[in-house]
Amino acid sequence: MLRWAAIFLIIAIVAAIFGFGGIVGAAASIAKVLFFVFLILFVVSLITGRKTKV
């Protein structure tokens, strides 16, 4: 998931360099959403991974 966020961020940067306004906004927003989804999943996995069986 983080890889997809990085890919969309790179697409947004390249599109910004070439001046494609609509593509920049779409790719940047997709990258932002994917990053936050990854962050939430990471925190959830940290919380659930700490449970140990006794």
Q: Give the domain ranges of the chain.
A: 2-49
Average pLDDT over residues 18-41: 80
Report the pLDDT averaged over residues 48-52: 72
Query: How many CB atoms are closer than 10 A to CB 22?
Result: 8
Reply yes or no on whether the pLDDT at 37 is more than 80.
yes
pLDDT reported for residue 9:
80
Tokens standing for 23? 């593509």
pLDDT at 36 over 70: yes
| Nearest residue to 46 via CA among 54, 25, 38 | 38
Query: Can you give the pTM of this predicted structure?
Result: 0.57
3-state per-residue secondary structure call for 4-52: HHHHHHHHHHHHHHHCCHHHHHHHHHHHHHHHHHHHHHHHHHHHHHCCC
Mean pLDDT of 4-24: 77
Please give the average per-residue pLDDT across 23-38, as a whole number: 81
